[in-house]
A and B are shown apart, each in its own frame.
Chain A
Amino acid sequence: MSTSRIAGTVDATAAASPNRARRGDVRSRAPKRLMAAAVIISALSSVPLIYVAVTAIVTGWPTLSALIFRNRVGELLVNTAGLVIITVPLTAVVGLAAALLVERTTLPGARVFALLLAAPLAIPAFVHSYGWVTVIPSLHGLGSGVLIGTLAYFPLVYLPCAAALRRLDPALEEAASGLGLRPTAMFLRVIFPQLRLPLLGGSLLIALHLLAEYGAFALIRFDTFTTAIIDQYRSTFNGPAANALASVLVFCCLFVLVTESGARGRARFARVGAGASRPVIRRRLRRSTPAAYGYLVVLVLLSTGVPLITVVRWLTAGGARVWGDGQIVASLAQTLGYGLTGAAITTVLALPVALLAVRYPGRLARILESVGYITSSLPGIVTALALVTVSIRYLQPLYQSSILVAVAYALMFLPRALVSLSAGLAQVPLGLEEAARSLGIHPTVAFIRVTLRFIAPTTLAGGALVFLGVINELTATLLLAPSGTRTLAIQFWSRVNEIDYAGAAPYAMLMIVLSLPVTYLLFSRSRLVETR
């Protein structure tokens, strides 16, 4: 009875005032020209994927199986899988521990370490290898591969984990503490689950880098699929064999992508609730302070110190001679040219896809966006092989041309620009552009005057990421570049191959010097975003 009475109460004071749901910045239908541009760019991105599939079909199962199921491929599989399986968890532990020490303890000098721990990203992996081979010439095999991989790539886990740790809502930890959780349980049950996404994302990137890396492992004579493909292609020009290995490599990449996606599941972590967030809780280390310092100092010395000291040492040993070979300036100019052109083209190509993904989200937009991500996860060697084959067969004039190199860079680094552009576009309220249009401004002009103005910083950041990738790129450039191409990476590589380590040092130093400002820019932007 009481229930029906409550239900029957006439609440004349409760005026209907439903909350207005904010309309998302999403439009109903994409303009045809934008859609066409995005489709064309994604179709271009899918060339390497189509190439692998078509090659497998054309080669035929008997030939393919003969090429794949042999002892050599078994060895490569064991090497590559071993490298990924050991290195990825190791980098996760190393990167996470560093992030925890820097972001969640009162360790003096943490800000300096925050920057130093990101520094290895400015050093190409093959320069890491070069540094270590100089120190320990006998370095080779799986253990060495794990060492180089860990030291070169741990920042890919460290940076996102550090960012996530800065962003975590301390209220959760206070609530857990109030529920009686001890520090260890707090970490395992409250903090660690919130780090799952950056850990998995970083681990995925590291796995893909390990699968794609050539120079670093070739230098220590550790054979992986990628090194074998390039050796196969360059030494014997055995196209089918290289393609068969490439298809196995593609499957490895897809396996890694699917595994990461499965492990990530539908996990999303965001701060909920009203009120401003507060600074994170930092812990005093007390007696553990020396050990923490020791860990961070050793890590910085091994990851940044060894390659840098080696380069400086070779520069000193080489003296003025190494700077006077007459090719350094040309090589630098060529690298800058490729880097800037690659960054510009990739950013322009990413814009329609980003616009479509952000403003007209839907199944098609997701598919078109995903193609770029999947292609970029393929090793550069696969993309390069695909473009070589396509250009030789259908676009002969483009074979060994700078245009083809630029296309390869765009395919390999499109997501770097895409991520930045999407983030920038998502932050620009569509209402601003519509306000401009309602004031009589043509849509294109409104986009330029309003939206482009706002996404300029993120566009530059995306371009900088692409630039960083291009100037350190080796494998695709080796295969695709026109005769006479002498980028810093290629020059470095040819000097190292000639065991002229002193001659390689200026090129290594220039690559590091070019990468440092971009790495610092990315580092400072990530801190800026996280502390806003």
Chain B
Amino acid sequence: MSAVELDRVSKGFGQIAVLNAVNLSILAGSTTVIVGASGSGKTTLLRLISGFEMPDSGTISLSGERVAGSGKNVPAHRRGIGLVSQEGSLFPHLSVEENIAFGMGDLPRRNRQRAVEELLDMVSLERSYRTRRPDELSGGQQQRVALARALARKPSVMLLDEPFSALDTGLRAATRDAISATLRQQSITTVLVTHDQSEALSFGDQLAVLRKGRLVQVGSPRELYFAPREVSTAKFLGDAIVLPATVGAGTASCAFGIVVVAPTAVRGAAFVMFRPEHLVVKKSDSGGSAVVELVEFGGAEVNITVRLDGLHSGRGAVVKIRQNNDLNVARGDRVVVSTRQPGVVVSPDQDNENDQGSENEPELATG
């Protein structure tokens, strides 16, 4: 059963259309990540679900009950959702206990204290923090208190609006893991909004890519990473090498030569995408298909920029490939570049003509 159902939801502010006919179904107890660049409409989508904005058209249902659209609007405080924002939004004038108990209603003091302590346990915070003020907590601790506060009402859906983005890298991972574990343990349907690609891939069961107010692809993180449909999705979810190609049956002709591609119905001019970890560079003494232009040492890995001759396809390109640092090549060396996995045929972005490129412009091969 869907815990959250969005049916052709559109929203604009003045002349600016922010969301355009968004359809999204989120299973009860699952975790969905909505990922997109700044201004793509992620936060608006979350605010529509939470009830802080009204859709211009379309409907929103929570646990099968329509809460917005078609003349209905259940206010935010009656939707039974939990919300944790980027800033945490802890009330600075209240202690941790008072913050967590804010939405609990009138409880006897002892019961309230016990409930707060249980929630602090749940989010892995020491009980002694109960009396502290928000400004006496670190950013990660504040976010955990915000989660505890939201959990206090036993929400059916938890909405997380970039809750980790204001934290330092180390703290971010630890807080993310703690919050993720708590939510899974409680089997709470969770929607996380983020622009962080690694967070998007690791946090959820379902990943939805939002671009310019349009949901361009929804699926498992693995599916979206390895088989993106559009160029932008491929690039957004990780390092990608996207080359113009002519696609045939099971193969494509591109700057790497003739390469195997994953099954696709596309034929003719298109783009083929490779993840850098799927490419292999080997030094060649007998004249390779590419010349090393730059070698950048990056610790465990090395980034090698090579110029592909593209003799077979007539399409040259300059690409940057990531390899283990045991490869010993230098600028000017001739190398052979091969692929470990079939390429993935991706379409130009439907909403951006500039991304389409053409066969006559090999330099548009980007990653």
Contact = CB atoms under 8 A, between A and B. Distances in A.
A325 interface: no
Contacts of A10: 241-242, 305, 317-320, 365-367
B318 A438 contact: no
Contact of B162 (A13, A20, A27): A20
Interface string A1-43: 0001101111111111111111100011100000000000000
Contact of B13 (A8, A18, A28, A436): A28
Contacts of B76: 434, 437-438, 443
B89 interface: yes
Contacts of B241: 10, 12
Nearest to B40: A18
Most B-side CB within 10 Å, residue of A12, A434, A435, A443: A12
Contacts of A28: 13, 53-54
Interface stretch (B220-228, B231-239, B258-266): B231-239
Nearest to B317: A8
A9 B320 CA distance: 7
A12 B43 contact: no
Contact of A23 (B43, B90, B93): B43
A439 interface: yes
B349 interface: no
A435 B321 CA distance: 45
A8 B364 contact: yes
B103 interface: yes
A16 B231 CA distance: 12
A442 interface: yes
Nearest to B79: A438
Interface string B346-357: 000000000000
Contacts of A18: 37-38, 195
Contacts of B197: 15-17
**Size band of the A side of the interface?**
35 or more
B32 interface: no
B102 interface: yes
Nearest to B362: A8
B276 A12 contact: yes
Interface string A214-245: 00000000000000000000000000000000
Contacts of B319: 9-10, 12
B303 interface: yes
Interface string A403-437: 00000000000000000000000000101101111
Contact of B239 (A12, A429, A436): A12
B245 interface: no
A10 B244 CA distance: 13
B268 interface: no
Contact of B77 (A9, A16, A440): A440
A8 to B, nearest CB: 3
B98 to A, nearest CB: 11
A16 B91 contact: no
A453 interface: yes
Nearest to A436: B102
Contacts of A299: none
Contacts of A436: 91, 102-103
Contact of B150 (A4, A14, A439, A442): A439
B77 A20 contact: no
Contacts of B89: 429, 431-432, 434-435
Contact of A21 (B13, B38, B87, B236): B38
A12 B318 contact: no
B359 interface: no
Nearest to B103: A439
A336 interface: no
A441 interface: yes
B118 interface: no
Contacts of A442: 77
B367 A434 contact: no
A5 B82 contact: no
A253 B76 CA distance: 47
B53 A443 contact: no
Given A8-B317, A21-B38, A440-B103, A13 B303 contact: yes
A438 B241 CA distance: 43
A439 B363 contact: no
B309 interface: no
Contacts of A11: 320, 366-367
A460 interface: no
A252 to B, nearest CB: 38
A4 B367 contact: no
B99 to A, nearest CB: 9
A163 B146 CA distance: 37
Contacts of B85: 431, 434-435
Interface in B55-79: 75-78
Contacts of A441: 77, 102-103
A188 to B, nearest CB: 42
B73 to A, nearest CB: 12
B195 A9 contact: no
A139 interface: no
Given A17-B195, A28-B13, A440-B77, A5 B318 contact: yes
A369 to B, nearest CB: 19
B175 interface: no
Contacts of A7: 363-364
A435 B298 CA distance: 43
A301 interface: no
Contacts of A29: 54
A13 B239 contact: yes
Interface in B7-22: 13
A20 B241 CA distance: 25
B240 interface: yes
Interface string B279-307: 00000000000000000001000010101
A348 interface: no
A8 B363 contact: yes
A450 interface: yes
A442 B366 CA distance: 51
A432 B91 contact: yes
Nearest to A26: B13
Contacts of A454: 93
A428 to B, nearest CB: 10
B37 A438 contact: no
B220 to A, nearest CB: 20
Nearest to B275: A12
Interface in A63-86: none
Most B-side CB within 10 Å, residue of A11, A17, A435, A438: A438
Nearest to B83: A438
B112 interface: no
Nearest to A431: B89
B196 interface: yes
B214 interface: no
Contact of B87 (A4, A429, A443): A429
A296 B319 CA distance: 71
A398 B155 CA distance: 54
B320 A13 contact: yes
B322 interface: yes
B365 A8 contact: yes
Contact of A5 (B51, B152, B363): B363
A12 B52 CA distance: 39
A467 to B, nearest CB: 26
7 contacts: A8-B365, A12-B367, A15-B197, A434-B83, A435-B90, A439-B149, A439-B153
Given A20-B195, A432-B91, A442-B77, 14 more contacts: A7-B364, A8-B317, A11-B366, A12-B239, A12-B367, A13-B303, A13-B320, A16-B235, A18-B37, A20-B162, A431-B85, A435-B146, A440-B78, A450-B91
Interface of A: 4-5, 7-23, 27-29, 429, 431-432, 434-443, 446, 450, 453-454
